Amino acid sequence: MSDDTQLDGLARVISERASYREYMDCTVVALAIVSDLPYSIVHDMLARAGRKDCHKFALTSYMLDLDTMGQYVIERIQMPQSYLTLAKLRKDFPKGRFLVRIRAHCFVMIDGKIIDRVPNGGNCLIRAIWHFTRECTQ
């Protein structure tokens, strides 16, 4: 996937969310990008799961029972005993589509590229990682 395509995903979601006047919606933005679903669909899904507009959301609890989203199969990556840094995550997982949670924020990493509205330093600690793999439609 090219950098332009990845940035198009972020631009698409930012454009779609403009009418919502949301903030503190990194979970909605990240899930919309990583799943290729429209912002409105993800926003509604999380609202049904208890997320209130302009409030944080308990992503880890929500993801416990989720094994697919859109056309993707979701697998939680087992974390080592100590937290990973972003730099180590990029080194250990250079390819793939990931939803990444750090303290009080989440973002997407696709093929080692961070897709986020907020810049993250290489030393931020990763709290949870989910790998999104496109389902085979045979």
Output the pLDDT for position 88: 87
Q: Which residue has the tokens 């056309």?
A: 71
Neighbours of 90 (CB within 10 A): 17
pTM: predicted TM-score of the whole model, two decimal places:
0.88
Output the pLDDT for position 84: 86
Q: Which domain holds residue 48?
A: 3-134
Beta strand extents in 8-124 (DSSP E only): 68-69, 72-76, 84-85, 97-102, 105-110, 113-115
Per-residue pLDDT band for 121 (boundaries 50, 70, 90) equals low
Output the pLDDT for position 136: 62
Per-residue pLDDT band for 74 (boundaries 50, 70, 90) equals very high
pLDDT above 70 coverage of the chain, percent: 89
When divided into structural domains, the chain yields a total of 1
Asked if residue 116 has pLDDT above 70, the reply is yes
Q: From 108, 35, 41, 109, select the one nearest 72 (Cα to Cα).
A: 35
* Chain segment 39-68, per-residue pLDDT in tens: 999 999 999 999 999 998 988 889 988 999
